[in-house]
C-alpha cells in the first residue's frame, strides 16, 4: 500500500504541526505529565486516521469493454431509473456508491473510452446520501463514449465533509478502465448513469471495491 499523492503534502504539514505542539508541551508544560501523554496519544491516533484516509492500496484491475466497474470503494445506496437532465435529457439507470471517511477515496474510470463531455459545478455541501446532492452539491460530470459503444455518465459529488474534488480528465481524453480519474477528500459519493437496459450486477447495500467490483453489463 502507498500514500496517495493528494495526501502527501497534508500529511507532511500535519506531522510537522503535531511534532511542534508535542515538543512545545514537553518543553513548557512539564508539570502536566498526564495531559502531555494524552495529547501525544491523540496526536498519534489523529495522524494514523489521516494516513488511512489517503491510502492507495494495490488493486488487481481487469478490463472488459462492456462491463462497468465500480468507480470507488463504498456502499451501493441508489439503484433506480431517473431522468438525467444535464447531458442525456432522457431516462437513465442511476447507480450510486457512497464513500464513508474510512473508505479509499481514489475514484477510478468505470470503463474505457473517450471523454465526450466534462464539466465542474460549484455547489452546496449537503450530506452525500441526500437525494438533492446529485444536482445541488459541488460536483464534476464526466461522459465517456465507451469502447463498447454506449455513453456512460459519472459524477464525483462532494458531501458534508468533502471540501475538495480533484480530477485528472478533460474532454477529448482517452481513458482506461480502472485507472484513476480523480480523488474526493473526506467522504462523498459517485453516481453512475447508464442505459436503462443495462444489466445491474450489484444490490442495494452491497459493498464494492473501485476497479474490481462489476457494477453492470452494457447491452451492445
In order of 52, 64, 147, 185, the CA distances from 220 in angstroms are 39, 12, 10, 35
Cα separation of 163 and 53, whole Å? Answer: 14
Gap between the terminal Cα atoms of the chain: 36
Angstrom distance (rounded) from CA 192 to CA 88: 13
The catalytic residues are 188
Helix (H) or strand (E) holding 93: strand 90-99
Amino acid at each position: 500500500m502507498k500514500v496517495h499523492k493528494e495526501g502527501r503534502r497534508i500529511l507532511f504539514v500535519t506531522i510537522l504541526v503535531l511534532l511542534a505542539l508535542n515538543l512545545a508541551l514537553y518543553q513548557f508544560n512539564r508539570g502536566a505529565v498526564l495531559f502531555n501523554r494524552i495529547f501525544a496519544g491523540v496526536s498519534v491516533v489523529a495522524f494514523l486516521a489521516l494516513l488511512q484516509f489517503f491510502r492507495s492500496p494495490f488493486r488487481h484491475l481487469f478490463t472488459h469493454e462492456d462491463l462497468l466497474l465500480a468507480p470507488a470503494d463504498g456502499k451501493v445506496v441508489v439503484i433506480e431509473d431517473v431522468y438525467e437532465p444535464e447531458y442525456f435529457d432522457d431516462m437513465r439507470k442511476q447507480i450510486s456508491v457512497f464513500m464513508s471517511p474510512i473508505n479509499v477515496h481514489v475514484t477510478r474510470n468505470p470503463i474505457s473510452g473517450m471523454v465526450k463531455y466534462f464539466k465542474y459545478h460549484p455547489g452546496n455541501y449537503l450530506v452525500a446520501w441526500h437525494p438533492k446532492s446529485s444536482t445541488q452539491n459541488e460536483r464534476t460530470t464526466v461522459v465517456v463514449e465507451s469502447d463498447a459503444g454506449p455513453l456512460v455518465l459519472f459524477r464525483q459529488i462532494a458531501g458534508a465533509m468533502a471540501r475538495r474534488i480533484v480530477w485528472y480528465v478533460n474532454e477529448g481524453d482517452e481513458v482506461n478502465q480502472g485507472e484513476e480519474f480523480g480523488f474526493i477528500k473526506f467522504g462523498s459519493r459517485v453516481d453512475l448513469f447508464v442505459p436503462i437496459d443495462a444489466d445491474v450486477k450489484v444490490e442495494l447495500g452491497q459493498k464494492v471495491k473501485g476497479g474490481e467490483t462489476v457494477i453492470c453489463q452494457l447491452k451492445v
